[in-house]
Structure 1
Amino acid sequence: MRTSALIPLLLLLIPLGAHAQLVVSNALTPAQIVNNVLLGQGVTATNVTFSGDADQIGTFDGTNCNIGLDAGMIMCTGSIGVALGPNNAGGAGQGGGNFGASDPDLASLITQPINDAAVL
């Protein structure tokens, strides 16, 4: 009888890890990301260009997690959604070659094919 009453009390002592969630969004255009996230107040960029897929660029909110940054811009060779984790698969952010974008400047530096480039 005493043991059965003690077990629930001991279970309360087991720490439960609370994991805050990183939030990513690709709701803004690249120009909006540059002007609203990267630049300070009173500064406006013009002629912003982005080469890549819309899933490769966005913003993140890290306020409730321990990455050390409250917010910012995120770019990935794959989908930015991979940043949510668990990030336990090698090459998860590579995009699997599905975006196909290349970059002539990078391509001139190496002999291997360039895939899934995200260039802002």
Structure 2
Amino acid sequence: MINLQKSPWGGESFYLNLGWDPAVASGEFRSENSCVFGLRAENIDVIPSIDFVRPDGLAARDLPGIILLDAEMSSRIPEDSFVKQLIDVIVVPIADFMDRTPALQDLVPLLTEKPHLAFIPVREELKRRGFTLPAM
């Protein structure tokens, strides 16, 4: 599941949530927070950083690409540049990540590297399938 969520705290910022659940048939929908495993896209390090050049042109700073989902940032960038960066920095990497993880067990390398992301439901489901994750 991929869910673009508007910030509940007001403003026009968004979050990109991902979810996996073996009980959901292909083509059906389930909110990512109801899935066996869910996380925010910025927690998986697949969204590359971007360079943001200040209006004075004198300095640039490296920003996580997820900042493109922030309303203030999107209003500072010309629309054609914003759309290109959104596709290059967020859409393509997330689509590639999702293509590489079509099944829950495909998350084992990520969850082995970042065991703090694996809560009890996904640990139990993976254990049932013969995979044991490191302790949090």
TM-score normalised by the chain length of structure 1: 0.24
Bigger Rg, structure 1 or 2: 1
Relative contact order, CA 8 A, sep 6+: which one is greater?
1
Looking at secondary structure, tell me which structure has more helix per residue. Answer: 2
| TM-score of the two chains, using structure 2 as the length reference | 0.22
The answer to which structure has the higher strand fraction is: 2
